[in-house]
A and B are shown apart, each in its own frame.
Chain A
Amino acid sequence: MILVVADDLDPSIECVRDNDDVVVATPSSLSMAGWTLRSGAPPTVPEALGGAAVRAVLVRVVRIRAESLPHVHPEDRAYVAAEMTAFLTAFLAQWPARRVNPVTPGNLMGLARSPEGWLRAVAMDGLATCVDPPAAEGSSSAVVVGAKVFDYGPIVDREERAAITRRIAGAAGSRHLAVQFCVEHSTAVTGVSYQPRLDERLWLALKDELLRCEQGAVP
Chain B
Amino acid sequence: MILLVGCADDDAPLAAIAAELLARDEPYVVFDPDDPLATVGRAWHPDREAVVTTSTATICLDEICAAYLRPASRPGRAAQNCRALSTVLTWSEFTPAVVVNRPAACAANTSKPYQLEMIRAFGFATPATLTTTSPDAARAFVQEVGRAVYKSVSADRSMVGEVDPRDTGRLRDVVHCPTQFQQLVDGDDLRVHVVGGEAHALRIRSMETDYRYVPPEGALPTATLAELDPDPRGRLIAMTRAMGLRFAGIDLRESGDGTLYCLEVNPSPGFTFYERLSGVPIAPFVADLLTHETPDLEPSREKECVHAAQRSDM
Residues of A participating in the B interface, judged by any CB pair closer than 8 Å: 30-40, 46, 72, 79-80, 82-87, 89-91, 93-96, 98-99, 102-106, 111-114, 116-117, 119-121, 123-124, 129, 131, 173, 175, 213, 219
* Stretch of B7-15, B152-160, B205-213 contacting A (4+ beta carbons < 8 Å): B152-160
Considering the complex, give the chain B residue whose CB is closest to the CB of A171: B301
Knowing A33-B134, A99-B313 are in contact, say whether A105-B108 is a contact too (CB < 8 A).
Answer: yes
Q: A118 → chain B, closest Cβ, in Å?
A: 10
Q: A84-B178, A105-B108, A175-B314 are in contact. Are A117 and B133 (CB under 8 A)?
A: no
**In the complex, are the beta carbons of A83 and B178 less than 8 A apart?**
yes
Contact indicator B113/A39 (Cβ below 8 Å): yes
**CB neighbours of A93 from chain B (8 A):** 114, 117, 306-307, 309-311
Q: Name 23 interchain pairs, CB-CB below 8 A, sorted by A.
A: A35-B134, A37-B113, A37-B132, A39-B116, A46-B133, A80-B176, A82-B155, A82-B156, A83-B153, A90-B113, A90-B131, A94-B310, A103-B310, A104-B304, A105-B114, A112-B107, A112-B304, A114-B90, A116-B90, A120-B44, A120-B93, A121-B94, A173-B312
Does chain A have a CB within 8 A of B72? Answer: no
Q: Which of the listed residues A105, A117, A119 has the most CB atoms from chain B within 10 Å of its own CB? A: A105
New A-B contacts (16) at CB < 8 Å, excluding given A94-B117, A106-B110? A37-B131, A38-B141, A39-B116, A39-B128, A72-B176, A85-B110, A93-B117, A94-B309, A102-B314, A104-B107, A105-B108, A105-B111, A117-B94, A120-B301, A173-B314, A219-B313
Q: A90-B114, A99-B313, A114-B86 are in contact. Are A121 and B43 (CB under 8 A)?
A: no
| Cα–Cα distance between A36 and B111 once the two chains are bound (Å) | 15
| Contact of A37 with B107 in the complex, beta carbons under 8 Å | no
Interface residues on B, range: 35 or more
Which chain B residue lies CB-closest to A122? Answer: B46
* Smallest beta-carbon distance B90→chain A, Å: 5
**Which of A31, A39, A80 interacts with B175 by CB under 8 Å?**
A31
The answer for the CA separation of A111 and B306 in the assembled complex, in Å, is 9
Cβ-defined contact, B178 with A117, below 8 A:
no
Complex contacts, A96 vs chain B, CB 8 Å = 311, 313
Which partner residue on chain B sits nearest A63 by CB separation?
B110
Task: Please tell me if the beta carbons of B86 and A86 are within 8 angstroms of each other in the complex.
Answer: no
A120 touches B132 (CB 8 A): no
CB contact under 8 A between A36 and B130, given known A86-B155, A105-B108, A120-B94: yes
What residue in chain A is nearest B134 (Cβ atoms)?
A33
Chain B residues, Cβ within 8 Å of A80: 176-177
Interface string of B20-44 (1 = CB under 8 A from A): 0000000000000000000000011
Q: How many A-B contacts at CB < 8 Å in the complex?
A: 173
Partner of B130 from the list A38, A102, A119, A121 (CB cut-off 8 Å) is: A38
Interface string of B166-191 (1 = CB under 8 A from A): 00000000011111000000000000
Instruction: Give B275-314 as 1s and 0s: 1 = Cβ < 8 Å from A's Cβ atoms.
Output: 0000000000000000000000000111011110111111
Which of A46, A83, A102, A124 has the largest number of chain B CB atoms within 10 A? Answer: A83
Known A104-B305, A116-B44; judge A35-B310 contact (CB<8 A). Answer: no
The answer to whether B94 and A90 touch across the interface, beta carbons within 8 angstroms, is no
A11 to nearest B CB, angstroms?
26
Complex Cα spacing A36 to B141, Å:
11
Residue in A closest to B105 when the chains form the complex, CB atoms: A105
**Separation of A90 and B153 alpha carbons in the complex (Å):** 9
- Closest approach, in angstroms, between the C-beta of A130 and any C-beta of chain B? 10
Q: Is the CB of A102 within 8 A of B175?
A: no
Cα–Cα distance between A111 and B305 once the two chains are bound (Å): 10
| Bound CA–CA A173/B305 (angstroms) | 13
Q: At the interface, yes or no: B238 with Cβ under 8 Å from chain A?
A: no
Cβ of B73 under 8 Å from chain A: no
Is A36 a contact of B131 with CB atoms below 8 Å? yes
Q: Are B112 and A117 in contact (CB under 8 A)?
A: no
Instruction: Among A82, A86, A121, A123, find the residue whose CB has the most chain B CB atoms closer than 10 A.
Output: A86
Complex CA gap A92/B126 in Å reads: 20
Chain A residues closer than 8 Å to B141, beta-carbon distance: 38
Alpha-carbon gap, A113 to B91, bound state (A): 11
- B235 contacts the other chain (CB 8 A): no
- Residues 89-118 (chain B) with a chain A CB within 8 angstroms: 89-90, 93-94, 103-104, 107-117
Contact of A35 among B94, B107, B132 (CB under 8 A): B132
Contacts of A104 in B (CB 8 A): 104, 107, 304-306
Which of the residues B113, B154, B176 comes within 8 Å of A31, measured between beta carbons? B176
